[in-house]
Amino acid sequence: MPIQDVILFHLLLPGERRLWDTWKAFEEATSTFLSLSVGPDIVSDEDIAVLERFTILLYDRTSTLVSVDECRKFLFTKRGRAMNPSYQSSP
């Protein structure tokens, strides 16, 4: 599925305002989306880092985390839950 279709799909979902506001606040995502829209053979680590950061900001606009895994752990434990080692991703 082309990246334009993915973006359009997300814009049509409930919460599209949040997605659009996050995108406007994190303009670095635009160049990454454009880069990915041409269908590169390999996605760079930099592009993955930008996509992770964008995803984190969708869930928590004030977060300083840069890893989706760190964010997942933070959001899970935020409700007072303890991290079970079996839920932790492998390095």
8 A C-beta contact, residue 28 and residue 44: no
Residue 44 lies in a domain: yes
- Phi, psi (deg, nearest 5) at residue 83: -80, 120
| Residue 70 within any structural domain of the chain | no
Query: How many domains does the structure of the chain reveal?
Result: 1
Residue 34 structural domain: 3-63
Give the residue with greater pLDDT, 21 vs 79: 21
Give residue 49's pLDDT: 93
Does the residue 46 lie in any domain? Answer: yes
Whole-model pTM over 0.85:
no
Each residue of 3-43: pLDDT tens digit?
555 665 555 555 667 777 888 889 899 999 998 988 888 89
Q: Given this model, what pLDDT does residue 85 score?
A: 56
Any domain includes 78:
no
Query: Would you say residue 75 lies in a domain?
Result: no
Please enumerate in sequence order all residues whose Cβ is within 8 A of that of 53, keeping only pairs 6 or more positions apart, or say none.
Answer: 26, 28, 66
Would you say residue 42 lies in a domain? yes
